[in-house]
Amino acid sequence: MRDGMNSRILLDAAKSCILASSPVFRRQQFLIRCVGGSTDQRDMQALRSLEVDSQSIIRAITPALDPTRHKGQAGNIAVIGGCREYTGAPYFSAISALKIGADLSHVFCTTDAAPVIKSYSPELIVHPVLEESYNVGEEHKSSIASKVLAEVDKWLERFDCLVVGPGLGRDPFLLDCVSEIMRHARQSNIPIVIDGDGLFLVTNNLELVSGYALAVLTPNVNEYKRLVQKVLSSEVNDIDAPQQLLSLAKQIGGVTILRKGNSDLISDGDTVKSVSVYGSPRRCGGQGDILSGSVAVFLSWARQHILAADSNSNIRFKNPTVLGCIAGSAILRKAASLAFSNKKRSTVTGDIIECLGKSLEDISPAS
Ligand SMILES: NC(=O)C1=CN([C@@H]2O[C@H](COP(=O)(O)OP(=O)(O)OC[C@H]3O[C@@H](n4cnc5c(N)ncnc54)[C@H](O)[C@@H]3O)[C@@H](O)[C@H]2O)[C@@H](O)CC1
Ligand SMILES: Nc1ncnc2c1ncn2[C@@H]1O[C@H](COP(=O)(O)OP(=O)(O)OP(=O)(O)O)[C@@H](O)[C@H]1O
Ligand SMILES: [Mg+2]
């Protein structure tokens, strides 16, 4: 009996050793650490105490479908992104804005990407205005940059929010032009959601967003790591994730940051909120793009709602960028959950986009 027990203990120990040295196991442990998946009870409790009632926020800020309203009042969004490599990301972001309920959705992309993005959907207004270095001779760079800016400026004042970065690429000439567009948007007080390669640009040029309360950064695990290293000169701290996020947002002058992960954490340097609505175990590319388009619309609605709120309403004291992040995160996660219940392992980003309407309808019915 005793011998049997000893050999079982030895067998278990051997199994643990084999498991711990297996590359698959080590990769899983690495990923758990990367996405902040600490199982520490105190961490879980701390996160639970930050959880917000996202459904009430969505109900409060979603505008009624009022017959007196005209086209554009429910939101006019522009995505700056789309290059030779990436045409899916700007499409996902822009179409998600429409499916949430914006009236108009534009894409400003490179001349190469435009015909491709136009062919995905006639709903989007696609402007082939950006250029990458390979298409522009050194001697023409300055005149092309002025032309790009003039093209975007013609439209800028009409937009309720810009999304900068989905599928933008990292070409230096293109990023210089986009920096100028961001400066103009900032002068005009237009909110800017920054994602993907827009975060690469901003991390290396923090002055573009520093101190701009209408800027929202939506980093994934890698983008967050780069931001923390650059701004706080430290590594990501998953043990005290809310405190580190708060410091980061404060250090960049009160921008709002949505740190994507197992739970989405949101901070504007004053408060930290968490959205842990059940989402999906599928991690197909493009979900962050749905999020950026959704946040842009909800942020615009939150601003409108706050402007129109009467003096007794306590929503007037809330930050619209934080409200937009909470609502966008909760809707994306609910849509991802719905899509997964239908499509399981074959769930792709398009399936999640198809569930955005039902997800919002369940929370805030159209009539
Ligand atoms: N269909 C498309 O056109 C898409 C284009 N995208 C664009 O692609 C560009 C680069 O974005 P990326 O998200 O790839 O850049 P990242 O710097 O986040 O990712 C680079 C690498 O990190 C890995 N990685 C990503 N998330 C991870 C996680 N949670 N844990 C461990 N490793 C992880 C990825 O597999 C990839 O190899 C952006 O412009 C983005 O907008 C993406 O939005 C996805 C969809
Ligand atoms: N580990 C996770 N568990 C549950 N949900 C997650 C997890 N990681 C991310 N998400 C959800 O997916 C959304 C997109 O996050 P993700 O990290 O995939 O962004 P991304 O890498 O920028 O995506 P994209 O492929 O569009 O660039 C987040 O808002 C979050 O709600
Ligand atoms: Mg992304």
Q: CA 99 → CA 153, 237, 334, distances in Å?
A: 26, 36, 14
More confident residue, 8 or 341: 341
- CA 15: distance to chain centroid? 41
Annotated binding site: 167, 220-226, 260-264, 279-289
- C-beta 260 within 6 A of ligand 2: yes
Q: What CA–CA distance (Å, rounded) separates 217 from 219?
A: 6
291-336 pLDDT tens trace: 999 999 999 999 999 999 988 788 878 999 999 999 999 999 999 9
The pLDDT, as a whole number, for residue 29 is 45
pLDDT at site 314: 82
Q: What is the reported pLDDT for 216?
A: 99
Q: What is the pLDDT of residue 76?
A: 98
Neighbours of 343 (CB within 10 A): 17
Residue nearest to atom 11 of ligand 1 (CA): 196
Q: Which two tokens stand for residue 264?
A: 């989405």
Contacts of 339 (CB under 8 A, 6+ apart): 280, 347, 351, 352, 354, 355
Confidence of residue 260 (pLDDT cuts 50, 70, 90): very high
Specify the 3-state DSSP secondary structure of 284: coil
| pLDDT on residue 30 | 43
Backbone φ and ψ of 107, nearest 5°:
-130, 125
One-letter amino acid for residue 11 of the chain:
L
Q: Give the C-alpha separation, 19 to 10, whole Å.
A: 14
- Amino acid 311: pLDDT: 81
> What's the CA-to-centroid distance between 12 and ligand 3, angstroms?
41
Percentage of residues in the chain having pLDDT higher than 90 = 83
Which ligand is nearest to the Cα of residue 284, counting in written order? 2
Q: Which of 200, 262, 283 to mutate to test the pocket of ligand 2 (most atoms within 8 A of CB)?
A: 283
Report how far residue 199's alpha carbon sits from residue 217's, in angstroms, rounded to the nearest whole number. 7
Ligand 1 neighbour 168 (Cβ under 6 A): yes
pLDDT tens for each residue of 116-159: 999 999 999 999 999 999 999 999 999 999 999 999 999 999 99
| Nearest CA among 181, 166, 189 for reference residue 286 | 166
DSSP of 151-181:
HHHHHHTT-SEEEE-TT----HHHHHHHHHH
Instruction: Give the other-Cβ count within 10 Å of 24's Cβ.
Output: 8
167 contacts 199 by C-beta, under 8 angstroms? no
Question: Are the C-beta atoms of residues 195 and 163 closer than 8 Å to each other?
Answer: yes
**Rounded to whole angstroms, how far apart are CA atoms 72 and 295?**
17
ipTM > 0.85 for the complex: yes
Report d(CA 29, CA 20) in Å as an integer.
9
Question: Which numbered atom of ligand 2 lies nearest the CA of 284?
Answer: 25
* Euclidean distance between CA atoms 25 and 14, whole angstroms: 15
pLDDT tens-digit map of 330-360: 999 999 999 999 999 999 999 999 999 999 9
Amino acid 48: pLDDT: 77
Ligand 3 midpoint to CA 223 (Å): 8
What domains, with CATH codes, occur in the chain? Answer: 49-363 (3.40.1190.20)
pLDDT at 317: 84
Mean pLDDT value across the chain: 91
Query: What pLDDT digit, counting tens, does each position of 49-102 carry?
Result: 899 999 999 999 999 998 899 999 999 999 999 999 999 999 999 999 999 999
End-to-end Cα spacing for the chain: 71
Query: What pLDDT digit, counting tens, does each position of 210-250 carry?
Result: 999 999 999 999 999 999 999 999 999 999 999 999 999 99
Of the chain, the percentage scoring pLDDT greater than 70 comes to 87
Residue of 97, 47, 66, 67 whose CA lies nearest to 331: 97
Q: How far apart are CA 300 and CA 193, in angstroms?
A: 11
Would the pLDDT of 12 be above 70?
A: no
> CA 288 to CA 220: how far, in whole Å?
8
